[in-house]
């Protein structure tokens, strides 16, 4: 029997869309699981490109006890790292969650809230050093679990994280059914999905465009 679960996905201006929508598509596929998009204020937020809007039907004050909370990343996560209202909310809900999760630079927000102190964690490869500066043990890797904390690396890793979470919470059969239902069978045309595999000029180009001093993540 699958128990009802409430999931809160924090959304904010200049988030990376797939960080939130990838896990959403997985988590909302489990029968009895309810996904709520939560923001500092109800209404529309715009993603980092500005071309896409997502709607938050709930404010922080309206969601106080989710079983699962998920923090995506994106340019806007830098602002959240200094937003005490958001950080206080994360600390409060984390005290009650079964799972506290992040995708990409969302783990930096968890770190800024003090929730990753001495915990193994990951994020986008360009920001691992910054994650360490926030008290975490930045081990890298696509999905890292330390107790109830689950952090995922950059953007697409959120789908892997969500599937693993479903497996741990609802069982491997349910997770596999969800995976098949969304036909998640990655066969990328290039083997360049990590800095260990991509050609060095590509790594440097992405670092220049996306790193802490650049415009992304």
Active-site amino acid positions: 104
Q: Longest C-alpha distance within the chain, in Å?
A: 51
* Residue 180 CB burial class (10 angstroms; 0-12, 13-18, ≥19): exposed
* Number of alpha carbons in the 13 Å side-chain half-sphere of residue 159: 16
Q: What are phi and psi of 49, to 5 degrees?
A: -80, -20
Element (H, E) at 105: none
Is 55 in a helix, a strand, or coil?
A: strand
Helices then strands (H, E): number in the chain?
8, 11
CB atoms within 10 A of CB 24: 22
The interaxial angle of helices 17-27 and 157-170, nearest 10 deg, is 30
In whole angstroms, give the CA distance from residue 202 to residue 217: 17
């Amino acid at each position: 029997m699958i128990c009802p679960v409430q999931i809160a996905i924090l959304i904010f201006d200049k988030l990376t869309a797939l960080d939130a929508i990838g896990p959403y598509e997985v988590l909302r596929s489990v029968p009895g699981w309810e996904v709520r998009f939560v923001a500092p204020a109800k209404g529309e937020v715009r993603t980092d490109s500005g071309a896409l809007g997502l709607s938050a039907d709930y404010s922080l004050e309206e969601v106080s006890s989710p079983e699962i909370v998920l923090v995506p990343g994106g340019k806007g996560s830098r602002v959240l790292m200094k937003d005490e209202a958001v950080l206080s909310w994360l600390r409060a809900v984390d005290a009650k969650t079964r799972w506290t999760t992040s995708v990409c630079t969302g783990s930096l927000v968890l770190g800024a809230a003090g929730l990753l102190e001495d915990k193994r964690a990951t994020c986008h490869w360009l920001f691992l050093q910054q994650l360490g500066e926030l008290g975490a043990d930045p081990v890298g890797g696509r999905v890292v679990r330390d107790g109830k904390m689950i952090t995922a690396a950059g953007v697409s890793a959120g789908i892997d994280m969500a599937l693993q979470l479903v497996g741990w919470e609802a069982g491997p059969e349910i997770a596999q059914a969800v995976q098949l239902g969304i036909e998640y069978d990655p066969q990328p045309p290039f083997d360049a999905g990590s800095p260990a595999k991509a050609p060095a000029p590509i790594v440097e180009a992405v670092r220049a465009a996306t790193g802490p001093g650049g415009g992304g993540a």
